[in-house]
Amino acid sequence: MLLTVIYIIAITAEAMTGALSAGRRSMDWFGVILIACVTALGGGSVRDVLLGHYPLTWVKHPEYLVLTCCAALFTIIIAKWMKHLHSIFLLLDALGLIGFTIIGCQIALQMGHGFVVSAVAGVLTGVSGGILRDILCNDVPLVFRRELYASISFVAVIFYWFCIDFGLSLEITVISTLVFGFSLRCIAIYFGLEMPKFIYKDHDEQSASSKDPS
């Protein structure tokens, strides 16, 4: 029940971030809808395809697909006022990240996988929608460059496991993971926390990426 509500908020928020990305690239309406769908439903689809968990969520519940399309069209209409909603938007996105992570983790556990695979499933569900969005928009995925994002998804998985290991009920586990992960993400955004970066320059650099003006 709770997870379904969070899932709906999450796909709506992710669809809107996708639509805005497409708008930055001046795509047509169809492109906006496709990028929104990929951003919102791509993470779960990648997880399901890799785990062989058929049918995919949007195949079983096409209404989520319709919702995503509506969210994309709605974003086109309200884009002018978007800047004033920027912070609400970041919060919804944070909620979505943790919600997706928990759902991905649970599905892997239900399929009988262990910690490593369910951690990967959780993080993949949380971040790969955004990665696909950035690939389709021809960016280096932002998830690897900005404030803590994927790592919070990973920490949330670990927290979730501890809660279950301590014998907490599923409901309490889900709610406390949500609160924990959400607070962590808010702290990361507020203080601009970042993972340490790995910067490597080699003598091939010049020739290997000579097309890149940066």
- Under DSSP, is residue 70 helix (H, G, I), strand (E, B) or coil? helix
Nearest distance from residue 175's CB to a copy of itself, in Å?
26
For a copy of itself, the binding residues (CB under 8 A) are 19-20, 22-32, 34-35, 45, 49-52, 54-56, 58-59, 62, 65-66, 76, 79, 82-83, 113-114, 116-117, 120, 131, 135-145, 150-151, 154, 194-203, 205, 208-214
First to last CA, the chain: 48
Residue among 102 and 137 whose Cβ is closer to a copy of itself: 137
Q: Which is nearer to a copy of itself, 32 or 92 (CB)?
A: 32
Quick one: 10 or 124, whose CB is closer to a copy of itself? 124
Least distance CB 33 / a copy of itself (angstroms): 9
Q: Name the residue among 119, 115, 18, 128 with its Cα closest to residue 71.
A: 18
Comparing CB distances to a copy of itself, the nearer of 58 and 160 is 58
- Residue 45 in tokens: 């689809």
Prior bond to 55 cis, omega within 30? Answer: yes
Q: CB of residue 131 vs a copy of itself: minimum separation in angstroms?
A: 7
What are phi and psi for residue 85, nearest 5 degrees? -100, 5
Smallest separation, CB 1 to a copy of itself (Å): 24
Burial class (CB in 10 A: 0-12, 13-18, 19+), 114: exposed
Category of 146 on φ-ψ map: left (φ > 0), alpha (ψ -120 to 50) or beta: beta
Q: How far is the CB of 36 from a copy of itself (least distance, A)?
A: 11
